[in-house]
Amino acid sequence: MNLQGRLKKGVMSSSKLNRTTALTVVVMYALSILSFFRNEDGSFELSSVTNFLFLAFSLFLFLLVAGKNINARLLAIYLAASVFLIIHSLYLADYAVHKHLLNQLGFLFAATASALFLQRSARRCRMDLALNHIVRVSFLLFLPLFFSAAAGIGQIVNSLNHWYAFIHETIWVEKQQLGVFLAWMLIASLVVGNKRKVNHVILLSMLFLLGVGIRSFVAGFVLLAIFLFVGKYKVIRLLYIVAPFSLAILVFWKQLTVPLMLLFDIRGLMLQATLDIAHQYPIGIGIGGYAAYLPEHYQFTSGDYREVSDVYRYLSRDFALNVLESDLMVMVFTFGVFVSATYYAASLTLLDYLLRKNKFILDGFEKAVALLFGWYLFAGITQDYIFKLHWWVMVSFVLFVLMRVRLKKRQLSRVHCGA
């Protein structure tokens, strides 16, 4: 075969490879978004189906690359994480739920397998096509949301929560999950818009307006913007490690209490419960354990409310805490303060590695994933996204991007050495 023929064959092969990779990314993204659909009374939800499909799809992807030259470092990380989860749940934690352990081991395998497949299939391909497809799929999913929001715009007169409740009733997506979808779409649209120099002002404005009443959506972007701004200062970067471990030592060493007036609110109760666990269980209570632990240990009666203030003298409702609306709280309950500190220190360092140290070598898809990772990290302070399907898909994309960045740096190093 002549040189022109070999070049043509190489281009065709690369194009096919790019389409395969793009399709894989879109399937994973679509499963994440479909897992949000749940009606008001919970009698219909897609999360169980999408979880199974993600595991089956990832197993299929793993079989495609099994036995080939795959990333040994990622496999080692997967094995180490699996062993840690098993030992922690079976021998160290008091309240671990074995069903939840099996679920998370399955998700860990799925995230690792899909990242290995993406790394193998897109080793020398740009990921622009995948990002463009994410934007297109997001726009199709956005249309029913837009019409629902427009139909219920009058609910804003009552409150933004009434508006989001109307949207949930119409399209079966809850407020906080809506924030995740808007974050994915907003970040992908921003990156594609900048790359193509297309004016997305109207679309981006609608996304911001739809998300303005969602606490985690706003907090994620505000804190990410602050991180990007202050990250250029070396003294701030030192805090990425110092701050998490200093807080961990403080809450473990000293029993801290939330002001009594804040305990009438569910978030005050969550914070107090987390501080108690941080002090009493330095290695946590285990995966899924908080669902049984909280109602047993944190009940608040109407009499307790009236003791806080006479303002609540007409309150007749008793309350038992059974949720944790924060990734940080879930981490502390599950693994304790020191593992949580390690997680946040490593995540902040990794985010700095991607968005500051290597920002000039990221393509559009890689930049979007890095920004999405940052949004999840900060939005999770106010909402519990961790260990769910869409969070694991994000983790899979981050692992894939990390392998690509390391490969790019090795290639650049060879080029410089050759020069």
Phi, psi of 45 (to 5 degrees): -155, 150
Report pLDDT for 12. 33
| pLDDT, block means (10 residues), the chain with 419 residues | 40 53 93 90 85 97 85 92 97 95 97 94 77 89 90 90 92 93 92 60 75 93 96 91 96 89 75 94 96 82 58 55 91 97 97 94 93 98 96 97 90 66
Report pLDDT for 253. 95
In contact, 14 and 378? CB cutoff 8 Å: no
**Which residues share a beta bridge with 173?**
37
Rounded Cα distance between 340 and 243, Å, is 12
Phi, psi of 42 (to 5 degrees): 80, 10
Report pLDDT for 418. 58
Rounded-to-5 percentages of helix, strand, coil across the chain: 75, 0, 20
In contact, 156 and 163? CB cutoff 8 Å: yes
Joined together, the tokens standing for residue 60 give 């299929």
CA torsion sign for 194, 198, 202, 206 is negative
**Which residues share a beta bridge with 37?**
173
Report pLDDT for 14. 45
CA atoms within 13 A on the CB side of 294: 24
357-383 pLDDT, tens digit each? 999 999 899 999 999 999 999 999 999
277-333 pLDDT, tens digit each? 999 999 999 999 998 898 888 776 656 655 555 545 545 556 667 889 999 999 999
CA dihedral 304, 308, 309, 313 (to 10 degrees): 0
CA torsion sign for 54, 384, 174, 203 is negative
Q: Position of tokens 């000293």? A: 254
Q: Position of tokens 């804190």? A: 223
Question: What is the pairing mode between strands 299-300 and 319-320?
Answer: antiparallel
Q: Position of tokens 């983790």? A: 395
In contact, 108 and 82? CB cutoff 8 Å: yes
In contact, 140 and 84? CB cutoff 8 Å: no
Rounded Cα distance between 86 and 84, Å, is 5
Element (H, E) at 382: none
In contact, 39 and 146? CB cutoff 8 Å: no
Rounded Cα distance between 396 and 76, Å, is 15
Smallest Cα–Cα separation from 384: which of 338, 346, 334, 311?
A: 334
